[in-house]
Structure 1
Amino acid sequence: MKLIAFCSTGMRVAAVAAGIAVLTGCGSLPLPDKPQRPMVYDFGPGLPAASSGPAGAPLALAQVAAPAPLEGLAVNYRLLYAGSGQQPQPYALARWSMSPAQLVSQRLRETLAAQRPVVNVGESLAALELRVDLEEFSQVFDSPGASFGLVRMRATVVAPLTRGERLLGQRTFTARQPAASNDAPGGVKALTDATDDLARQIVAWLAELPVPQGARPVAPAARP
C-alpha cells in the first residue's frame, strides 16, 4: 500500500513538472496576437491660405449630402476587373476620421473660402446657396495592379428669395486620380487629390454664374 501511494505522489509531481516545462520551455504554446487597430485617415492639413482676402460674392454652403454607404467611416474600394464593381467593399484596417461627406464639406469650404466669404445656410446675407450631393467616393481597381480614386458630386446653386428660391445652375462633376499604390494609403491619397480637383472645378464654375440682384436669404428648407 505504501508503494502505491508513493508512486501516485510521484506521478502527480511529474505531471506538474511537465506542465511547467510546457509553459516556460521551448515547447510553450504561442500567445494570441493583439488585435490590430485600423489606421485613421483624413485629407491632410488643408490647402494653403490665399495671400489676399476673398473677393467674390458671399456664398452659403449647405452640408454635403451622401447616400447611406458613404455616411460611415469605411474606406471603400471596388474590384471592377473581377466583375464586382457594383459592390463597394471596406478595407478591414483603414478608417476615415469623419464620414466622406463631412471631409468633402470641410475641404470644399476651405477651397471656396480662399475666393469668397462662406457662411452656413441661413446665417448671413448670402445671395447664393450651394448644395452638393456626394454620389461616388471609392478606390476603383480596373486590374489587380492598377487603381484610381473616383469622386463624383452633383452641385446645385440657388438664389434664396423672399418667396421661394431661384435655380441658377446644376452640374455633375467627376474626377479620377491614379493611386500610387494599390492599398488603403494609395486609395486615400488618390481620393484626396480627386476631391481637391473637384473643389477647384466647382470654384471655377461658380465664378461663371451670374449673381442675381435683390436676392435675400430665407430660412433653409428641409432637404429630403
Structure 2
Amino acid sequence: MTTTATIRNAIAIAATAALLGACASKGQPTAQYDFGPLTAATPTSASRIAPLIIADVAGPAALETERMHYRLLYSDANQPRPYAYNQWTATPAQLLTQRIKARIAQAGVKVLATTDAAASTTVLRMEVEDFAQNFDTATSSNGTLTLRASVFRSHKLVDQKTFSSSVAATSADAAGGARALSAASDAVAADLITWLAALPPSKE
C-alpha cells in the first residue's frame, strides 16, 4: 500500500521536474549561459611548465550539444533531464576547452594548439567523466565536474590523474547550475595547473 511519504515524494519529484524543465509558457525565449568572465587567478608555480599543446576536451555525446541537463539524484540518478528554455552558448566540451586553456594561459604558460606540434612535444589531453547539475533535493543542487587528464611527451605517457570538483548552486535553476559548473571548472583548472607544475621537467 502506498504510504503518505511516498506520495509526497512523488509529488515533489513531479513538481521539481515541471519547474526546471517544462513550466515555461509557450514562446518564451531561450536563455543562454556560458562560464562568465575570468576572475583573478590564485598564484601558482606555473612558471615551471614548458609550452604546452592542449587538445580539445573529449567526453560523452551529451557534451557535444548546447542543451543543459540536470539530474534528480533523489528520484532517478540515471535519467538526465533537459531544461526546456535554457542552453549553453556552445557545447560543454567547447566551453571547457576554452576555459581551461584560458586559465592555463592566465597562469603564464604558453598554450599551443595541436597544429603547433613542431613547437612542443608535450601534449595535454582531457576526457570528461562527469559534467552535471545534480539535485540532492528539490531546492539543493551542485555543479559537478570530473575529468581525467593525461600528459604525453613524444607520444609517451608521462602521467595521468583524475580531477573532480563539486560546487553548491546558489539557486535551484539553470542559472544556478551554470554558475556552479563554471566555479567547478575553475577549481579543476587550478588543481590541474598545480599538477602540471609538479611533473618532471621535459629533457628537451
What does residue 175 of structure 2 align with? 185
Aligned amino acid, residue 97 of structure 2? S
CA distance in 2, matches of 1:34, 1:208: 53
Aligned amino acid, residue 55 of structure 2? A
What does residue 54 of structure 2 align with? 61
Aligned pair in 2 of structure 1 residues 193, 50: CA closer, same or farther (>3 Å)?
closer
| Pairing 1:7-86 to 2, within 5 Å after superposition | 35-48=27-40, 55=47, 56-82=49-75, 84-86=76-78
TM-score computed with the length of structure 2 as normaliser: 0.80
Matched, 1:172 2:166: no
What does residue 195 of structure 1 align with? 185
Q: Cα distance, 1:44 vs. partner?
A: 0.9
Structure with greater contact order relative to length (CA < 8 Å, sep ≥ 6): 2
SS at match of 1:133: strand
CA distance in 2, matches of 1:94, 1:122: 34
Q: Cα distance, 1:49 vs. partner?
A: 7.9
CA distance in 1, matches of 2:91, 2:115: 24
| Pairing 1:86-97 to 2, within 5 Å after superposition | 86-97=78-89
What does residue 14 of structure 1 align with? none
Unpaired segments ≥5 residues, structure 2: 1-24
What does residue 153 of structure 2 align with? 159
Q: CA RMSD in A?
A: 1.9
TM-score computed with the length of structure 1 as normaliser: 0.74
Please say which structure displays the higher CA radius of gyration: 1
4+ residue stretches of structure 1 with deviation over 4 A?
Answer: 48-51
What does residue 198 of structure 2 align with? 208
What does residue 111 of structure 1 align with? 103
Q: Alignment partner for residue 132 of structure 1, among 101, 126, 134?
A: 126
Unpaired segments ≥5 residues, structure 1: 1-32, 215-224
Aligned amino acid, residue 200 of structure 2? P
Asked whether the 8 Å contact 2:64–2:92 carries over to 1, the reply is yes
Matched, 1:149 2:143: yes
SS at match of 2:37: coil
Q: Cα distance, 1:127 vs. partner?
A: 3.7
Q: Cα distance, 1:122 vs. partner?
A: 3.6
What does residue 20 of structure 1 align with? none
Aligned pair in 2 of structure 1 residues 189, 62: CA closer, same or farther (>3 Å)?
same
Question: Size of the alignment, in residue pairs?
Answer: 175
Aligned pair in 2 of structure 1 residues 142, 128: CA closer, same or farther (>3 Å)?
same
What does residue 5 of structure 1 align with? none
Asked whether the 8 Å contact 1:64–1:104 carries over to 2, the reply is yes
Q: Cα distance, 1:48 vs. partner?
A: 4.4
SS at match of 1:212: coil
CA distance in 1, matches of 2:56, 2:164: 19
Q: Cα distance, 1:47 vs. partner?
A: 3.7
